[in-house]
A and B are shown apart, each in its own frame.
Chain A
C-alpha cells in the first residue's frame, strides 16, 4: 500500500481521485461524505489532520477528516458544510462520483501524550467534525484514558451534528456527554445556553486533564476562560483552528497566523504554544 501523501512526490498540488461511496445528510447545511481512494492507496491519517478536496472545475477546499483512523476500513469520512463554491458543488454530488483528495495535512492531535490523562472535549457547532475523529479513536482504546467528558454546544437543535452517535456515546456509561443549544425548539429537553454554561456542571482533576476544543472563532476566548478557570494547564489545552488553507503545504500564505502556517504548524495548537510563541493572531 502507498500512502496518499507519498503521491505528492510527483506534484505537491496534484490530487488523487476518490470515489464517493456514501452521502448522508446530517443537518440542512452539513453532509457526511464517505470516500474511497483508488486501490493501493491509503490515507493513513491522524485525528486532527485535514485533506484538500477538489471539485474539479470549481476548486479545492480544506476539510477536516471526521472519521477515526481506528475505523478506516479502506474509507474515510468528511463532514462538509455548504459554505462556499467548492462545498456547494460537493453538496450536489452523489455516490459514484469522483472528487480529488490531497493530504493528509497538518499534524494531528498528539494522542500519545493524551494517554493516561482525563479528556475533556468541548466542540462547538461544526467543531465536532474534526473532534469526532479523535473521540472515536479514544473510545476504541478506551482503557488507555482516564475520565472522558464531552461538552457539545450548537445554536439550535436542528444544527446538532452526529446526533445518533451522541446518543450512543451517552448510552455507553463510561463517558459523560452533555449537550446544549442556545435557542431550543419545543421538543428540546436538554440544557439551554451557550457551551460555557456546561462547564460548571462537570468536575475535573485539572492537572491530569487534557482539554480539546474546536468551534467558531468567537467561541475560543470564552471556552479558554472556562478551561483556564478550572486550572487546566495551558499546555494541556488543545485547539483546532480554522483558516483558509488554500495549498495545504505551507506555501500560499492564506492560512498564516503570525509567523507560522496553520496547514503545517497546525491546525492543532496547544494554548501554551499560541501564548508563548507570539501567535497573537490565532485567537483574533
Chain B
C-alpha cells in the first residue's frame, strides 16, 4: 500500500475506533505544557503540540512498574507483565529515534521481557515535525528530524489532511480496520514534498560541527576542565535524566504488605546524576563528584552508546536543557568542547 491520506475531520472517528481495542495515548495540554496521556476527546487531538515534558518512553518503560509478586518466605514468586494493547499517537521523530535505541538496549544480551512485552503490544503513530519544538531543540544536527523505521504509521500535516506513511504491516492493518483513508494523489504528493523541503531552514539551532565527529570529540574531551565547571553548576537534581527519552537506568525495590507476608518488587526510573547512584553497600561511591557524573551523562549521550549499540545516546530533543535549573545545555556543552578542541589544534599548527 503506497502513501495514504486521511482527512483531519476523520481523525476523531479513527481514534474513537482505536479506543475500542486499544489504550490510545496522545499529547494533552496541562498548565501550559504538554504531556502524553490517554486521549479523552478524539475530536481534540493536539497533534500540533510542541513537546511533552516526559517523552513517550514511559509507555514502554514506566516510571514505576511491578516486576513480580512474592511471598516473603520465598514460597511463591510470580512475574507480572503488562502488555496492554496501546497506540501512542503523535510521537515526534526525535522520540522515535530514542525508542529505536531503547529497543536495542532491551533486546541485546539478556532481553528484557517486561520492555519487550510492552513494546510488542504498542503501536507508534508518529508525526512529522515541521517546526522546532523549543529553542533548545537541535534534532536536525542529531539526524533525528526525519522518522526512523520504528513507526507503524507516520503522519504529516498537509493542512486539511494528513499524509499517512505506512511503516509496518501492523500499521497497515490498523489503518484498514479503523480509518477512512484514500490513496494520495498528485496534489497531496506536491504539498508533502513542498512541506518537507521547506521545513529544514526553520531548524536553525544546531551543533557547530558534524555529528559524526561527536563520539571522537567526546573521547578526546574526557579530561576537559569543562566537566568541573558543569559540576560546580549542577544541582544533582536528576531533572535532565528524568526527561531524557534515551535514559533508561533504573532502581529495583521491594515493598511488603503490613502483615509482612506478601510483597512485590518494583522497578523505578533512577538517575546517574543522583548522589548514591554508584555507591556500593560498603559505602564507597565510585562516581562521587557532580563533575564526574555530568561527564558520565554526556559521555553516555555522545560516545558510550555508539560503542555499545552503534547509535548516539542523544536525539537532540533539548528536554534536558529545558528542564535544567542550572542552564546546562547539550548544544553549548558539545560546541564548547568542539571550539576549544578546534582552537587547540589550530594553535598547534600555527
- Whether a CB of chain B sits under 8 angstroms from the CB of A68 is no
Contact status B113-A12, CB under 8 Å: yes
Q: Count B interface residues, CB 8 Å.
A: 52
> Chain B interface: which of A56-64, A109-117, A175-183?
A56-64
Identify which of residues 81-135 in chain A touch chain B, using a CB-to-CB cut-off of 8 Å. 81, 83-84, 86-87, 97-100
Interface residues of A in 1-31 (CB under 8 A from B): 8, 10-17
Question: Is A278 interfacial (CB-CB < 8 Å)?
Answer: yes
Whether a CB of chain A sits under 8 angstroms from the CB of B201 is no
Q: A243-B280, A259-B308, A264-B109 are in contact. Are A252 and B251 (CB under 8 A)?
A: yes
Of B113, B279, B280, the residue contacting A10 (CB under 8 A) is B113
* A246-B74 in contact (CB<8A): no
Residue of B nearest to A17 (CB): B74
Give the CA-CA distance A16 to B76 in the complex, in Å. Answer: 9
Q: Mark B169-182, 1 if CB is under 8 A from A, else 0.
A: 00000000000000
Evaluate contact between A253 and B272: CB separation under 8 angstroms. Answer: yes
A278 and B282: CB pair below 8 A?
A: no
User: Is B12 part of the contact surface with A, judged by Cβ < 8 Å?
Assistant: no
Given contacts A83-B281, A246-B251, contact A278 B75 (CB under 8 A): no
Contacts of A13 in B (CB 8 A): 67-68, 79, 114, 252, 265, 267
Cβ-defined contact, B74 with A100, below 8 A: yes
B237-290 contacts to A, CB under 8 A, are 248-254, 256, 260, 263, 265, 267, 270, 272, 277-284, 286-287
> Which of B68, B252, B284 makes the CB contact (< 8 A) with A252?
B252
Given known pairs A244-B279, A258-B299, the reply for A281 and B287 (CB within 8 Å) is yes
Question: Does residue A217 face the partner (Cβ distance < 8 Å to B)?
Answer: yes
Which residues on A are within 8 Å of B, measured CB to CB?
A: 8, 10-17, 54, 56-61, 81, 83-84, 86-87, 97-100, 216-217, 242-244, 246-247, 249-259, 264, 278, 280-281, 284
Are B72 and A56 in contact, with the CB atoms below 8 A?
Answer: yes
Other CB < 8 Å A-B pairs besides A246-B251, A253-B272, 15 of them? A56-B73, A56-B74, A83-B283, A100-B74, A100-B77, A242-B282, A243-B286, A244-B280, A244-B281, A252-B270, A253-B270, A254-B249, A254-B278, A264-B109, A284-B287
Complex Cα distance, B263 from A247, in Å, reads 19
Complex contact B68–A11 (CB within 8 A): yes
CA distance A8 to B296 in the complex (A): 30
Q: A13-B265, A254-B277, A284-B286 are in contact. Are A99 and B252 (CB under 8 A)?
A: no
A14 touches B286 (CB 8 A): no
B interface residues with partner A (beta carbon < 8 Å): 67-68, 70-75, 77, 79, 105-106, 108-114, 219, 222, 248-254, 256, 260, 263, 265, 267, 270, 272, 277-284, 286-287, 292, 296, 299, 303-304, 307-308
Instruction: Report the minimum CB–CB distance from B312 to chain A (whole Å).
Output: 13
Dominant secondary structure of chain A at its interface with chain B: loop
- A56 touching B112 by the CB < 8 A rule? no
Given contacts A83-B281, A100-B77, contact A250 B250 (CB under 8 A): no
Asked whether A99 lies within 8 Å of B74 as measured between CB atoms, the reply is yes
Q: How far is the CA of A258 from the CA of B251 in the complex (A)?
A: 19
Of chain A, the residue at the smallest CB distance from B257 is: A57
| Across-interface contacts of B105 in A (CB, < 8 A) | 251
Chain A's closest residue to B253 (CB) is: A59
Nearest B residue to A5 by beta-carbon distance? Answer: B110
CA distance A251 to B107 in the complex (A): 10
Name the A residues within 8 Å of B287 (CB-CB).
281, 284
Q: A84-B281, A242-B280, A258-B304 are in contact. Are A56 and B79 (CB under 8 A)?
A: no
Q: How far apart sit A59 and B57, CA to CA, in the bound complex (Å)?
A: 26
B282: chain A residues within 8 A (beta carbon): 81, 83-84, 216, 242
Asked if A15 and B254 sit within 8 Å, CB to CB, the answer is: no
Question: Of all chain A residues, which has the CB nearest B223?
Answer: A280
Flag if B71 contacts A56 (CB, 8 Å): yes
Q: 22 A-B Cβ contacts within 8 A?
A: A12-B113, A17-B74, A56-B72, A57-B256, A57-B263, A59-B253, A81-B282, A99-B74, A217-B284, A242-B284, A244-B277, A244-B286, A251-B105, A253-B248, A254-B251, A254-B278, A255-B278, A256-B278, A259-B299, A259-B308, A281-B292, A284-B292
**Interface residue from A61, A242, A251, A264 paired with B106 (Cβ < 8 Å):** A251
Nearest CB to that of A264 among chain B residues? B109
Residues of A within 8 A of B108 (CB): 250
Q: Kindly list chain B residues whose C-beta atoms are within 8 Å of the C-beta of A56.
A: 70-74, 77, 254, 263
In the complex, chain B residues whose CB is within 8 Å of the CB of A84: 281-282
